[in-house]
Amino acid sequence: MPYSPFEPELRAFEIASDPRHASVFYGSSSIRLWENIAQSFPDRAVVNRGFGGSTLAECIELIPRIVLPLAPAALILYAADNDLDQGASPEHALYLFTQFIERIRQPCPALPVAFISVKPSPARFWNIQNIRRANSLIQAAAPEHAGVTYVDVFTPMLSPSGSFRPELFTQDGLHMNQSGYDLWTGEICPWLDGLPGMLPAPA
């Protein structure tokens, strides 16, 4: 396997005794920091596979190492936030989204996949137009791929005036507090609940 700057996290994943055939949450630090994710989805077996400040490009590269050994029943992805912050265009974010779906479809042709929209955080509101356009492009493209759903957290995370909602974020203005994660849970649950045959949470 190629070396990754997230090597300590990746090695920890490899030795973890996480269940197979669970709902796998995958992506960057907004997933990694969701420390009570099992409590957010008490009726489902869930596995957190968020790592570092990863990009969507890095998530694509690490699918074989981080996702496939779990044989997931569903995959929930949050990525592209860091790609856009590092200068990727909305069109490139769309390209990476397409590459991700193509890469996961090769070994997992029927895997249900949900893409969580890029959030409107205070720290990155300077880039809101690119975030908005990337979300729009990916939302339009998702139905073109069987079994892929776009989950819109962007819209409910905006205030009525169209600005960010500071009450959803920690002091760094980038990562979410419990209120933010509660909002995400409310948007993701209907999708998960609509999937048949999901592994229940361990008793």
CATH code of residue 159: 3.40.50.1110
- 76, part of any domain: yes
Residue 179 above 60 pLDDT?
A: yes
Residue 66 and residue 71: Cα distance in Å, rounded? 10
Structural domain range at position 149:
7-193
Rounded mean pLDDT of 102-128?
Answer: 98
- 45, part of any domain: yes
Rounded mean pLDDT of 132-136?
Answer: 98
- 119, part of any domain: yes
pLDDT at 113: 98
Residue 126 above 80 pLDDT?
A: yes
pLDDT digits (tens, 9 = 90+) for 28-77: 999 999 999 999 999 899 999 999 899 999 999 999 999 999 999 999 99
- 199, part of any domain: no
Q: How many domains does the chain have?
A: 1
Rounded mean pLDDT of 16-34?
Answer: 96
- 203, part of any domain: no
**In degrees, to the nearest 5, what angle opens at C-alpha 152 toward C-alphas 52 and 53?**
10
- 161, part of any domain: yes
Band (pLDDT 50/70/90 cuts) for residue 96 is very high
- 149, part of any domain: yes
Percent of the chain past pLDDT 70, that is, above it, reads: 95
Higher pLDDT, 173 or 199: 173
pLDDT at 196: 77
- 2, part of any domain: no
